């Protein structure tokens, strides 16, 4: 009889706690976060993983930041990055873009290993990130330029220099390389200043 009373008491307690006179509150919908800008190396890794799904031998030949919205490329970061990757097995190149937290790919193009503009590089050479390249560029004229013209955007381009056989960050102060106010070349393996390109 005692066991029956305990069982009935437990059942009554469970029923009372399950039924509540207070209606459940709807959960607040989470607001989507604005995309965070990334450094070049982090964005490249995201593009590289996607490219390896396309071609297991995919190798990079270029990485460029893109100007989007209010992003000025400060702190070595950007809201969008475009990576060019090539595959010898596929005989083609394919652009990958990281933007708004997602990676997308573009149209394939033919690839020739002898084309110097698409000279691939080993990712092991990429030891210095875009924020570190910016620090070096700032010490070689970038800081003075941004003091005089604080609205100047900063772009980043990474590619292989065939003449010196090294991976280079080009820190570009302006909206594009051709009309830049200043471009500084920085070694992407050591972080050392190479030269002022413009």
- Going by pLDDT thresholds of 50, 70 and 90, the confidence category of residue 33 is confident
Does residue 21 have a pLDDT over 70? no
pLDDT of residue 70: 81
Identify the CA nearest to 154 among candidates 83, 44, 74: 74
Contacts of 141 (CB under 8 A, 6+ apart): 182, 184, 196
**Which tens digits make up the pLDDT trace of 45-94?**
999 999 999 999 999 999 999 999 888 998 999 999 999 999 999 999 99
User: Would you list the DSSP string of the chain?
Assistant: -HHHHHHHHHHHHHHHHH--SSPPPPPPPPPPPPPPPEEHHHHHHHHHHHHHHH-TT-EEEEEEEE--TT---GGGEESEEEEEEEETTTTEEEEEEEETTEEEE---EE--TT-GGG----GGG--S-HHHHHHHHIIIIIHHHHHH-TT--EEEEEEEETTTTEEEEEEEESSSSTT-SEEEEEETTT--EEEE--
Does residue 132 have a pLDDT over 80? yes
- Going by pLDDT thresholds of 50, 70 and 90, the confidence category of residue 6 is low
Query: Do 45 and 83 meet the contact criterion of CB atoms below 8 Å apart?
Result: no
pTM over 0.85: no
pLDDT of residue 11: 54
Q: How far is CA 180 from CA 38, 146, 163, 170, in A?
A: 22, 13, 23, 11
């Amino acid at each position: 009889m005692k066991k029956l009373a305990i069982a009935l008491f437990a059942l009554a307690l469970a029923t009372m706690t399950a039924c509540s006179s207070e209606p459940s509150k709807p959960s607040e919908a989470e607001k989507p976060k604005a995309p965070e800008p990334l450094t070049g190396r982090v964005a490249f890794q995201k593009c590289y993983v996607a490219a390896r799904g396309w071609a297991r031998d995919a190798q990079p030949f270029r990485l460029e930041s893109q100007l989007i919205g209010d992003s000025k490329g400060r702190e070595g970061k950007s809201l969008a990055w475009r990576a060019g990757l090539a595959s010898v097995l596929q005989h083609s190149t394919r652009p990958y873009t990281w933007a708004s937290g997602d990676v997308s790919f573009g149209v394939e193009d033919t690839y020739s290993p002898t084309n110097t503009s698409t000279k691939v590089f080993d990712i092991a050479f990429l030891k210095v990130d875009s924020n570190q390249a910016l620090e070096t560029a700032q010490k070689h004229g970038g800081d003075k330029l941004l003091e005089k013209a604080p609205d100047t955007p900063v772009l980043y381009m990474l590619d292989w220099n065939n003449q010196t056989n090294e991976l280079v960050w080009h820190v570009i102060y302006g909206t594009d390389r051709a009309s830049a106010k200043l471009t500084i070349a920085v070694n992407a393996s050591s972080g050392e200043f190479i030269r002022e390109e413009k």
